[in-house]
Structure 1
Amino acid sequence: MPLDTGALARGCAGIKIISGRQLCRAELDRFRAVVASDAPITVACTQEAPLFREIAAESGGELNFVNLRESAGWSSEAAKAGPKMAALAAAAAIRMPDVPYVQLESGGVILVYGRDERAIEAANQLKDHLDVTVLVTQPDDLMPPRVSDFPIVKGTIRTAKGHLGAFEIVVDDYAAPSPSSRNSLVFGPSRNGAVSRCDILLDLSGRPPPFSAAELRDGYLRADPRDRAAVLASALRARDLVGRFDKPRYITFTAELCAHSRSNIVGCRRCLDLCPTSAIAPAGDYVAIDEKICAGCGQCAAACPTGAAGYALPPAEALMRKLRTMLMVYRQTGGGSPIILFHDDDHGGALIDALARHGDGLPANVLPFAVNEVTQVGLEAIAAAFAYGSTAVRVILRGRPRHDVLGLRDTVTLGRTILAGLGFSGNPLGLIETDDPFALGEALRAIEPGKTASPATFLPAGGKRDVLRFALRELHRAAPVPTGIIALPAGAPFGAVEIDVAGCTLCLSCVSACPTGALSDNPDKPMLRFTEDACVQCGLCKATCPEKVITLSPRL
């Protein structure tokens, strides 16, 4: 593939560029010599990342990776991809904050939940490795075991909660078998509400799962009981779930910023309504996030209007620094009409690789931007992308998402409203929902890039709300038509409150309820003040007002 070392050198000023043809094979000693220097290194190949990491571990060197080949080099437009390569390499060199972790611990206690002898077959595969109990829903004609290697009971799961290492299951119609069962298991009297605790739950029942977004629940494994291969695969996965496991702490939460409730009156519910795993629950004036259940989709952080919930992989401010570097270097090295393509690694990254290997690859002006989960992309990242000079933004989604992505759809809808109000024509922001790499390529080549008047260069700093406000101001400055006021849909996190002055008694209940200080009083005289920048449209003032004279007016 063509490698524009000149563009790389210009885009990564002050950084030594080393190129080779087989640094992972014939020239491996050159790589060993470089990592021995202890300097931070960005490797522009991801295929051989395990090998490079193994060698770097010997010397303690710090490695970052960027995929220039599939992202830029393997493309029908590779000859024009020099600025893109420089931008990707420069962005990859930006150090991201360390990831915080939470520990899950499993002692290997497993409940195999099934409807017939398939559950017992799976239990026999696990009995030498795990502490097994079998719960069957249809125990008719089950042959008694010659030797009781594990308990077999009957019942139906009513509810289940928890995570790897700490499941609690409520069972109805629970009964134990008689030890004198002869030709088939005979069960004694049944009862409802029996409670079972386990570390791992293997569900072979064929029934609807007991959790929302069940495949995201650590420690919960599920297979169609009619599919022997799937049952075996799930059993083998269960055997590995013993010990201590580090799980990323995806969300940072600052309770005092939360606008959920005041004085038992509910205001903001955005995170509660969006969490696919039900990891978030009300907790008085605030909400509580169970970090051991959270699967890291990031929709709560993307939607949180105050910044109480923030994504940690990476934080919004760090992600925007990387975005800033990518777009600035792309333009500085001669690139034009950049399009930011947000994607995750498992799905979007695989589509990009397949398009590069079997199709025309990505266009030279499409800059892939990897995130942990595409649903973590919030309005601040979208606003910053356009403020920094992107002419279009796309997000790759699965054709059939693993969980509800309403939060991302709402963010895109809100972003489109703001962009349209600022004069961005065409379709600057959208989702590409596909599992087909060729459909991805067609969708990207159909984009008609717009124009940005004057790209911003601001450095993001502060909390999410501060970063978002600054990004929107810079977007307004760089917009084709910098409109003064843009009407927004209901539920938007910006706006004003309108007060029927004739009916207001200045009781100041709204001031006490306002969680952000948008409403305040004057200590020297009867007066109600309003700071629109601070308003998140949580609705607590409206719900608290005894005279019912407050109306929300979402706008920007």
Structure 2
Amino acid sequence: MQEFIYYNPKGLDFPVSEEILVSTNLDEIKEKSFLISNTSEVNAEVNADEIDFYIKNTKDSMAAQIENVYKLYDIAANKYDFAQDISYSQEVTNQLLLVANTKEEYEKFVACIKPDDFELFFVQENIIKSISGHIGNLSVIVDDEGKDVTLNVSQIVWYDAKEEGIKQSGCFDPKESSEEEVVSLLKENINSYSYKKFTTYDKTICQYNERREVICSKCEEVCPSVAITKDDETKVLSFSQIDCHGCGGCISVCPSGALDYAPSNRESLFEMSKAFANTHPLITPQKMNISSLEVELKEGVLPFAIEGEKFLDETAFLTLAQISGSQLVFYTDFISKGSGDAIRIVNDIYQKKYGKDAIIVAMNEEELSEALKEVSFIEGSNFNFNQEGLKKREIFSHRLQKLVGDEDLGEVKTGEHVHYGLVNVNEDKCTLCLVCVGACNVDALQADAKDNTLRLNPSLCTSCGYCEVSCPETDCLEIERDVIKLQPMWFKENILAQDELFACVECGVEFATKKSVEKIAAIMGPVFANDPVKEKSLYCCADCKPKIMMQNYYDQKKQGMSNAR
């Protein structure tokens, strides 16, 4: 199979790689299938409209255009190869619930359909008690004169839909478009409804999953639908891919990287970013519809097409900026909470190091034109390394460490939705119980048995606070939240507390830290003050403690028998 196809009735004004089949006749290729095409008119797995956008608007030399056109095909192929967005289908019947509050709304909708189009149920909004399920399998509980009645339908039409409808897949509001458009969509869904997997989840580094305290559920908070739900009793997240809009907003606020974006995951973004070395990347989300745009792309500008607009986080932005060695232009009409924080953080860092923003946001065509004139390379910012297999925070840490080098650039504040922080420990109160180490699932806190130390790599800390709530000591551990210190020590393991090992007074084996033994002895010493053996046991290891207690028992028993004689 020929992987790459370029179709245009007018052909091309310059030659392209022999790996790209160029066609001016649609009839010649209509029976063939391809991997990447420049247009939806061709049967292909991926339609990359950024190719024609680039060809139409670029000011690159012909040699650069030849190279870049092939590069755009290759980037699209990489994205396809790495994508984990598996497609699924859902059966949707013609059972339809109409929620209307006036006779006019009811009549207006019914006038747009034929009697046999749908099996239609009608209710008024005020009797709806709850909605559950998803498109194709919706359960609506209504109050029928004091009794709960369940209506099982596939889709819902709801005039002025309330939040429980807006967040539900399969619910449509005619006032958001028109009755005609909604009816057309309802029928299309009955014929064929498919959806994709947009998120992947690693619960082992999730900062909500099965923890004793709720210290993070950002993904659920920002989700615009019911695709992510949580149970605060069991501390378990549930994901419904059929309800997911694919926006990616949950990805950019996930502190540990437990969530990733299936269409363009972390590994995929890294591989695609390599193609943008020594270019000016123009990030273009799918929804921005660049096909009709007419803007001048000065030499070196190359579009970077992505699917969702909200999944880009600080690690993704810094990776692309360092590999390209350039400022980035992000063309989007909406900035998500996580991406907004990430852009500000990376820009603040770049301002301190280079005196320039790393990311230029353009929210309309006029701003885009200005941004494309302004975008420039940043001297000394190029950097890349093999980040395969590393977690989100580890990648950001390594890249930021290279940027900071040996300098002290001060500090930047992180934000409401993206958090970094610094763990501080009162060494006098720390017994090195290491509960905090067990609580940290991003490996920011570590214990070193060689020198009996508790250590922190601040650059990995998400400021989640689970170590803080887990620490058994009073006023021992606290977090300085929402700060990144741009200095070398931020990226190294700092010793927070250290202690000597205590040797068992009976056998001499070291079995605990000196502070932990002293703490227990201080609590229990007064209780055992009248029993020297029990008091001694406080300073014994687990093996010797029962031995001396049993020996004391037998000694006392033997003594009692001697006294009886």
TM-score, length basis structure 1: 0.73
State the partner residue of 2:178. Answer: 230
1:218 to 162, 169, 181: 169
Give the Cα–Cα distance (whole angstroms) in 2 for the partners of residues 282 and 133 of structure 1.
31
Give the partner amino acid of 1:339.
H
Deviation at residue 443 of structure 1 after TM alignment: 3.4
Residue pairs, 1:20-59, within 5 angstroms: 23-25=23-25, 29=28, 42-43=36-37, 45-46=38-39, 49-53=40-44
Distance 1:417 1:426, change over 3 A: closer
2:81 is aligned with 1:96? yes
Q: Is the 8 A contact 1:374 1:395 kept in 2?
A: no
Deviation at residue 509 of structure 1 after TM alignment: 3.5
Number of corresponding residues: 464
Segment of structure 1 superposing worse, 372-381 or 63-72: 63-72
- Which protein has the larger Cα radius of gyration, Structure 1 or Structure 2? 2
Deviation at residue 342 of structure 1 after TM alignment: 1.5
Distance 1:459 1:65, change over 3 A: farther
State the partner residue of 1:168. Answer: 139
Deviation at residue 312 of structure 1 after TM alignment: 0.5
Give the Cα–Cα distance (whole angstroms) in 1 for the partners of residues 327 and 405 of structure 2.
14
State the partner residue of 1:309. Answer: 259
1:51 counterpart SS class: coil
State the partner residue of 1:519. Answer: 445
Distance 1:246 1:321, change over 3 A: same
- Bigger relative contact order, structure 1 or 2 (CA pairs below 8 A, ≥6 apart): 1
Give the partner amino acid of 2:243.
I
State the partner residue of 1:133. Answer: 121
Residue pairs, 1:181-192, within 5 angstroms: 190-191=145-146
Distance 1:452 1:114, change over 3 A: same
State the partner residue of 2:98. Answer: 112
Deviation at residue 258 of structure 1 after TM alignment: 0.9
1:268 counterpart SS class: coil
Residue pairs, 1:403-414, within 5 angstroms: 405-414=336-345
Distance 1:549 1:278, change over 3 A: farther
Give the Cα–Cα distance (whole angstroms) in 1 for the partners of residues 450 and 42 of structure 2.
70
Give the partner amino acid of 2:292.
A
1:536 to 451, 462, 469: 462
Gaps of 5+ in 2: 1-10, 486-565
Q: Is the 8 A contact 1:200 1:219 kept in 2?
A: yes
Give the partner amino acid of 1:290.
S
Residue pairs, 1:391-470, within 5 angstroms: 391-398=326-333, 401=334, 405-421=336-352, 423-434=353-364, 437-445=365-373, 447-453=374-380, 455-465=382-392, 469-470=394-395
2:16 is aligned with 1:68? no
Give the Cα–Cα distance (whole angstroms) in 1 for the partners of residues 297 and 461 of structure 2.
41
Residue pairs, 1:459-498, within 5 angstroms: 459-465=386-392, 469-470=394-395, 472-474=397-399, 476-477=401-402, 483=408, 486-489=411-414, 492-498=418-424
State the partner residue of 2:561. Answer: none
Distance 1:168 1:381, change over 3 A: same
State the partner residue of 1:319. Answer: 269
2:152 is aligned with 1:197? yes
Distance 1:430 1:63, change over 3 A: closer
Distance 1:80 1:104, change over 3 A: same
Q: Is the 8 A contact 2:397 2:460 kept in 1?
A: no
Give the Cα–Cα distance (whole angstroms) in 2 for the partners of residues 93 and 234 of structure 1.
34
1:510 to 436, 445, 456: 436
State the partner residue of 1:267. Answer: 215
Q: Is the 8 A contact 2:437 2:446 kept in 1?
A: yes
2:291 is aligned with 1:340? no
1:376 counterpart SS class: coil
Deviation at residue 511 of structure 1 after TM alignment: 3.1
Distance 1:132 1:76, change over 3 A: same
Q: Is the 8 A contact 1:202 1:221 kept in 2?
A: yes
1:496 counterpart SS class: strand
Gaps of 5+ in 1: 10-15, 54-61, 138-154, 176-189, 332-337
CA-based RMSD of the aligned residues comes to: 3.5
Give the Cα–Cα distance (whole angstroms) in 2 for the partners of residues 250 and 343 of structure 1.
18
Distance 1:132 1:72, change over 3 A: same
Give the Cα–Cα distance (whole angstroms) in 1 for the partners of residues 14 and 475 of structure 2.
65
Residue-by-residue CA offset, 1:152-199 (whole Å, 9 max, x unaligned): xxx44344343202323343xx44xxxxxxxxxxxxxx3376543321
Give the Cα–Cα distance (whole angstroms) in 1 for the partners of residues 391 and 55 of structure 2.
32
Give the Cα–Cα distance (whole angstroms) in 1 for the partners of residues 397 and 382 of structure 2.
13
State the partner residue of 2:293. Answer: 355
Q: Is the 8 A contact 1:268 1:539 kept in 2?
A: no
Distance 1:133 1:369, change over 3 A: same
Q: Is the 8 A contact 1:344 1:371 kept in 2?
A: yes
State the partner residue of 2:316. Answer: 381
